[in-house]
Amino acid sequence: MTELLVKNAHVIDPLSGINGETMDIAIRDGKIVEEVSAAADVIDARGMLTMPGGIDSHTHICGTKVNFGRYMSPEDMRAGRTPRRGPMHATSGYSVPTTYGNSYRYSVMGYTTLLEGAMAPLEARHTHEEFAYTPLQDTMANTLFDGNWSIMEAIRDGDVKRVAAIIAWMLTAVKGFAVKLTNPGGTEAWQWGKNVSCIRDPVPYFEVTPAEIIRSAIEANELLHLPHSVHLHCNNLGTPGNYTCTLGSMGLVPDLNPKRQTLYATHVQFHAYGGSGWKDFSSKSEPIANLVNMRPQIVMDMGQVMFGRTTTMTADGPMEFNLYRLHHEKWSNHDVELETGSGIIPVIYRRKNLVNSIMWAIGLELALLTKSPWQCLLTTDNPNGAPFVKYPEIIGLLMSRRYRDAEFAKVHPDTGSRVPLPAIDREMDWYEIAVMTRAGQARALGIQDLGKGHLAPGADADVAIYPIRIDEVDPSAEFQKVIDGFSRTEYTIKRGRVVARRGECVVHGSNATIWVRPKVSENYDMGKDPDFVEKFDRYYTVRMSNYPVQENYLSRSRCIETETEL
């Protein structure tokens, strides 16, 4: 039995309804408990800001695509080099660091749970292998269903239960966590050298539309009672004028689940563009935020862009090809048979570039114009908008109008006429930041019952203690203190152990992977479905029996079994 007592913590824990109380947190065997014995180790938090461990609900850190980003950009490995130190391995890389680099840097910022944003089912093993080397965070993986042949055929036949059954089989097979749709239909169209421009364009051959894919996936998701909702990367990413497509996609979503949203729209900054071309490119954050304010069934994340060098990577192959035609730099494109694809391009976002400046403003506007912080979570779509190490700066920008104005003065001079940002006065408070970086994520991902994102007794003892005294710091004026504080925890506690202390990781750690097994009846077991089996034998390059990821790929397996309507 190991016991730990965190004394005099100044706690913000939105899911437990705690907003700034000085209290003690008792931990036994990796869980929060009511009290511990006098023999417990004691950490004196001395009134420092204490929150549940951070959760990133959309980041690209592990898997084939990330690793190909590493292959493509050996120059990225020249940045961020740290030597081996204590239990820490050597790391390198900035926008696509080594797995240990990701894990240590997240841990130092107080993050304890990560969702890999896109895992191609066929290549799931790679993701799980890298998870095992991301030891200081619990991990889960969005599983890509945007261009799945069997699913599109089931949608064409109007059989939502079959869609659900295929999702259930796939998630179980690849140890995935949630349903991800990346440019639904578009990546399959790309295999025909085409794309879909919005939700009403049919996918070649399959003759289903993105709207049908989105709606069927949402219905199937709810039939399976999955913890997370459908996780959608809308069609038409990065195109001027794409906000109408985003509004149209959001308009498709019914309110089907009382516990959480019905649709999680990711990196919405990339989907909130006005204008008819790059010349009249502008922000359309207002109509998007207005719609989200009226629809509690939608949660989005920012996908904030920050200036500097980074790598864009997505399953949205055709979008990356368009980006390649703009930049004419190195580009990779990848096809995942029967399932999806991907593309990667390194980019530099520049303040001097008007389009980049507008993109920077849009992310902030989405967060500031969305009334409820539970509906707009903080991300950069790491590393697409910026590497996650920029999160503290984004927190600073959200909390301080003065900091925003100072940064706004440095961007392209024409930005002011294209974006509403200068007119927004809102400054977020500590509680709202706590929602946007952990509590909101836990609720949106449906993992609060697993003990994530809060500090009530029974929860996982994942705690972040930041060296900030919130009654002494005025975030509006002293934004630099906010940035420094969120960049480096005093203590990061994971599963009841101190894992990071003032910028140093102090244990090797061991991650748990959270995945989902929907329980379906015999009739809906796709492993025994003759058509599905035949499709596998005929078209896949692997045998069906070799396809599932064995459980021993998971260093600690946390399986969520769901009761379904199948």
327 or 508: CB nearest other proteins: 327
By CB under 8 A, which span of 22-30, 70-78, 193-201, 202-210 interacts with other proteins?
A: 70-78
Please identify, among the stretches 74-82, 234-242, 334-342, 509-517, the one whose residues bind other proteins according to the rule CB under 8 A.
74-82
Which residue stretch of 72-80, 192-200, 210-218, 219-227 sits at the interface with other proteins (rule: CB under 8 A)? 72-80
Percent helix, strand and coil across the chain, each rounded to 5? Answer: 35, 25, 40
Is residue 76 involved in binding other proteins (CB under 8 A)?
yes
Helix (H) / strand (E) containing 127: helix 124-132
- Piece of 67-75, 384-392, 404-412, 464-472 that binds other proteins (CB under 8 A): 67-75
Q: Among residues 5, 11, 36, 72, which is the contact residue for other proteins, using CB under 8 A?
A: 72
Q: What is the DSSP string of 452-493?
A: -S--STTSB--EEEES--TTT--TTT-HHHHHHHHHS-SEEE
Q: Phi/psi zone of residue 133: left (φ > 0), alpha (ψ -120 to 50 degrees), beta?
A: alpha
Identified binder of other proteins from the candidate list 64, 73, 216, 297, rule CB under 8 A: 73
- Least separation in angstroms between residue 74's CB and other proteins is 4
State which residue, 65 or 401, has the beta carbon closest to other proteins: 65
Structure tokens at 236: 């038409």
Least Å from the CB of residue 335 to other proteins: 23
DSSP bridge pairs for 411 = none
**Residue 332 neighbours by CB distance under 10 Å:** 18
Q: Does 74 bind other proteins (CB under 8 A)?
A: yes
Spell out the residues 6+ positions from residue 511 whose beta carbon is closer than 8 angstroms to its own: 131, 132, 134, 135, 136, 137, 138, 139, 555, 556
Q: By CB under 8 A, is residue 83 in contact with other proteins?
A: no
Angle at 44 between CA 42 and CA 46, to 5 degrees: 165
**Residue 183: CB minimum distance to other proteins, A:** 28
The residue count for binding other proteins (CB under 8 A) is 8
* End-to-end Cα, the chain, rounded Å: 42
Give the CA diameter of the chain. Answer: 69
Residue 383, CB-side half-sphere exposure with 13 Å CA sphere: 29
- Least CB distance from residue 77 to other proteins, whole Å? 8
Answer yes or no whether residue 563 interacts with other proteins by CB under 8 A: no
Question: Shortest approach of other proteins to residue 93 CB, angstroms?
Answer: 12
x-marked contacts with other proteins along 17-56 as a string, rule CB under 8 A: ----------------------------------------
Residues near 281 by Cβ (< 8 Å), separated by ≥ 6? 240, 273, 274, 275, 354, 355, 358, 418
Q: Is 255 in the site for other proteins (CB under 8 A)?
A: no
Helices 160-174, 210-223: axis angle to 10 degrees equals 70
User: Which lies closer to other proteins via its Cβ, residue 54 or residue 93?
Assistant: 93
Amino acid at site 286 = E
Nearer to other proteins, 49 or 347 (CB): 347
Q: Looking at beta carbons only, is 28 or 309 nearer to other proteins?
A: 309
Q: Minimal distance in Å, beta carbon 325 to other proteins?
A: 11
Q: Which is nearer to other proteins, 71 or 539 (CB)?
A: 71
- 293-352 binders of other proteins (CB under 8 A): 328-329
Q: Can you tell me the distance from the alpha carbon of 125 to that of 262, in angstroms, rounded to the nearest whole number?
A: 29
Q: At what angle do helices 285-294 and 243-251 cross, to 10 degrees?
A: 10
Nearer Cβ to other proteins (157/329): 329
What are the beta bridge partners of residue 273? 283
Among 66-74, 111-119, 132-140, 405-413, which window interacts with other proteins (CB under 8 A)? 66-74
For residue 349, the minimal CB distance to other proteins (Å) is 16
Say whether residue 75 binds other proteins (CB under 8 A): yes
How far apart (Å, rounded) are the C-alpha atoms in residues 326 and 341?
Answer: 20
The distance of closest approach from Cβ of residue 369 to other proteins in the complex, given in angstroms and rounded to an integer, is 37
> Which of these ranges, 75-83, 185-193, 293-301, 526-534, lies near other proteins under the rule CB under 8 A?
75-83
Between 83 and 258, CB nearer to other proteins: 83
- Identify which of residues 329 and 449 has a Cβ nearer to other proteins in the complex: 329
∠ CA 49-54-56, nearest 5°, is 150
Tokens at residue 474, please? Answer: 């005025």
Q: Which C-beta is closer to other proteins: that of 330 or that of 410?
A: 330
Rounded to whole angstroms, the Cα distance separating 338 from 146 reads 10
Contact between 262 and other proteins per CB under 8 A: no
> Please, which residue, 17 or 83, has the CB nearer to other proteins?
83
Residues 521-560 that bind other proteins (CB under 8 A): none
Whole-angstrom Cα distance, residue 377 to residue 302? 6
Site residues (CB under 8 A) for other proteins?
72-76, 78, 328-329
